[in-house]
Amino acid sequence: MSTTLEKPVQADPTDGAMPSAEEDGAGRGWGGVRRLGDWMRTHARDLFWLIPVLVVSAVVNFLNVGGAPQRIDDEGTYTAQAWAVTHLGELAHYTYWYDHPPLGWLQIAGYTQLTGAFERWDIAVLAGREAVLVAALISVALLWALARRLGMSRGAAAATGILFALSPLAVQFHRTVYLDNVAVPWLLLAFFLATNRRGQLAAFAGSAVAFGVSVLTKETFLLALPFLIWVMVRSARKETRRYTLSVAASILVLIGGSYLLLAAVKGELFSGPERVSLIEGITFQLGSREGSGSITDPDSLINRTLGMWWQLDPVFIVLSLLAAAAALLLPRLRPYAVLVLAMTLFMFRPGGYLPVPYVIMLIPFGALLIAGVVDHAIARLRRRGASRRPLAIGAVAVAAIGAIVAVPLWTTQLRGFVLADLDAPLRGAQEWLMENASTDQRVIVDDAMWVDLVKAGWDRDNVIWYYKLDTDPAVQADSPNGWRDADYVITTDSMRTFPGAFPQVQEAIDNSVVVATFGEGTQAVEVRRVTIDGSAQAAVSLEAAAENRAALGSELATNPEVQLSTADRDRLTAGQVDERIIAVLATLAGAGSVSVTGFPIVAGEDGGTFRQLALSAIAGSPTVVDGRLSADAEALVDSLTGVYAPASVEIDGDDVVLRYPVSVQPTLP
């Protein structure tokens, strides 16, 4: 039997060697997936509670974000500053004067640049709202994490997120472009990291960075510093406390110093002739700013501000304060309770100024305390022989009563946020301007529409944020005649709130006439045409023009060649139809019959002069053929020159519609 000698098997040189680059990359990739899977399995119960809270928060807050609340001036300012960063390469759309640190709108600018938000929204402020709502969702997740870090159950952590996200008071402010909304997630991150018990050097350093960013986003968040220090000192390990706290303090000082360095590099740290300065900005915010008045004065700013908060959600406010008082007995919640109570008392300091968004910083901690106190009370009731059972029963009872009262209130309020279109008046006024004013005319506006008008073709110098007409030397230099250089002023509730604070703006309002009105009450927006001779003289001129229109219209109404409805004939005899339209119809009637479909009213001009004319036939021939102007209609349009030239000519079905520009003076000799 023969045997075959087999060649010994040679070992694979790659056995036991390092994997190839491709294999290593794949391994790392699969390793990352495995680690993610392990993490998700470990935190499955947390995600089961947290994800629905985030989804509900996103749906409720994003639904109808363009309809409610109505855009306000502050939103327009921060949005315009963010837009200036990304589109103009400037720190602000006007002279930056250190009223707030710029980091807040720089973050909004970064978000809009990364996501293309300004290009996706027709209304610029809505791009800013998207950014702050994303910040609110991040805050929900961080608030959940902080609640769990403080030992609260998953159900209580979820309740914290729901309270923070869905309270009508919270929804009102989550949807508003305030710098405070951008600062909240940084503040929550700072407290979360400050409660870390492992790796405290990195955690405390991160907490200091996060808190520094929150303060450079909105300076009022500096008020939370004593409470963050308190939490850090309580959390710090004795053996490393001095080192970790020193590092955190040093980082915080360095971050704060960066703002001073910015001003110093620009030569604007100290005040000087014809320049802004950081010192002046701080002095204004802390000292020279007019106070909010007395709470006993029903017309004071503090009274109106507190009234607005209370109207939105009195249940949340009451429960937050009660929970803060109760949480003084709970060591883990005590710093947050003192924070809420101390900052509530701070609002009522004599002569102080209370910003409307001040409450934004308190909302997450109010939600945390409500859920935390109830969670603690329920846990105590479950333990046999636990002390203070009457207090726990009382806490649960108060929470139950609050929930019963809150359900119908929240349902009504949230229904309004989801269904109401409170911004329709501002949109209407903005669209009216774009359709009826020319881009070479100068307009004084609420800052909420500044970016939209500039994007629509106005030169930025011709769109004047009303606040700047009385306060910015650069704007005043471009308007040597003050209010007289303006053509239109668009008034909003923000502009009407401080009638004596802006003399030039008030002069423009007093020397103007209303040409279009949208909405009513505090949502009302008026488009006013500035009259150089004053509103009194304009009223006289308009009255004389109305009498002239009535006389001319009465003559035209008897002309058998003019075919129109009885209602339109009555409008002619009442002097409600623009005299230029009367003159055009009289000329056409002299050459043959003319069929008038009507005098369409321009949106917002109800009760004003009809300045549109819809024609269906001229001399028996249609004005529109195959969707285009007929020869007779083209000849008519070409013949209208000078004061008779329409501002626009459009086709509406079988009619040609001529629109004449707004006039507050007699237009015919």
pLDDT digit string, tens, across residues 392-401: 899 999 999 9
pLDDT digit string, tens, across residues 591-648: 899 999 999 999 999 999 999 999 999 999 999 999 999 999 999 999 999 999 999 9
Residue 288 pLDDT exceeds 80:
no
| The predicted structure's pLDDT at residue 84 | 98
pLDDT digit string, tens, across residues 454-481: 999 999 999 999 999 999 999 999 999 9
* Structure confidence at residue 386 as a pLDDT band (50, 70, 90): low
pLDDT digit string, tens, across residues 524-549: 999 999 998 877 887 888 888 889 99
Contacts of 321 (CB under 8 A, 6+ apart): 340, 341, 344
| The predicted structure's pLDDT at residue 497 | 82
Q: Residue 236 corresponds to which amino acid?
A: A
Spatial separation of the C-alpha atoms in residues 337 and 357, rounded to whole Å: 20
| The predicted structure's pLDDT at residue 24 | 55
Q: Residue 94 corresponds to which amino acid?
A: Y
| The predicted structure's pLDDT at residue 351 | 86
* Structure confidence at residue 2 as a pLDDT band (50, 70, 90): very low
pLDDT digit string, tens, across residues 164-196: 999 999 999 999 999 999 999 999 999 999 999
| The predicted structure's pLDDT at residue 299 | 87
| The predicted structure's pLDDT at residue 179 | 98
pLDDT digit string, tens, across residues 190-249: 999 999 988 999 999 999 999 999 999 999 999 999 999 999 999 999 999 999 999 999
Average pLDDT of the chain to the nearest whole number: 92
| The predicted structure's pLDDT at residue 41 | 80
* Structure confidence at residue 7 as a pLDDT band (50, 70, 90): very low
| pTM tops 0.75 | yes
| The predicted structure's pLDDT at residue 3 | 40
Closest alpha carbon to 332 in 247, 425, 419, 235: 235
Say what percent of the chain tops pLDDT 70.
94
| The predicted structure's pLDDT at residue 16 | 44
Closest alpha carbon to 112 in 182, 196, 56: 182
Residue 4 pLDDT exceeds 50:
no
**Cis before 355? omega within 30:** no
pLDDT digit string, tens, across residues 73-97: 999 999 999 999 999 999 999 999 9
Please give the full DSSP string across 338-397, using - where no structure is assigned. HHHHHHHHHTT-TT----GGGGGGHHHHHHHHHHHHHHHHHHHHHSTT-S-HHHHHHHHH
Mean pLDDT of 577-593: 94
Task: Let me know if 230 is exposed, middle or buried by CB neighbors in 10 A (0-12, 13-18, 19+).
Answer: middle
* Structure confidence at residue 667 as a pLDDT band (50, 70, 90): low
For residue 188, the surrounding DSSP H or E stretch is helix 179-194
Residue 6 pLDDT exceeds 80:
no
Residue 36 pLDDT exceeds 90:
no
In the chain, what are the domain boundaries? 70-419, 424-530, 537-659
Q: Could you tell me if 616 and 622 are in contact, meaning their C-beta atoms sit under 8 angstroms apart?
A: yes
* Structure confidence at residue 668 as a pLDDT band (50, 70, 90): low
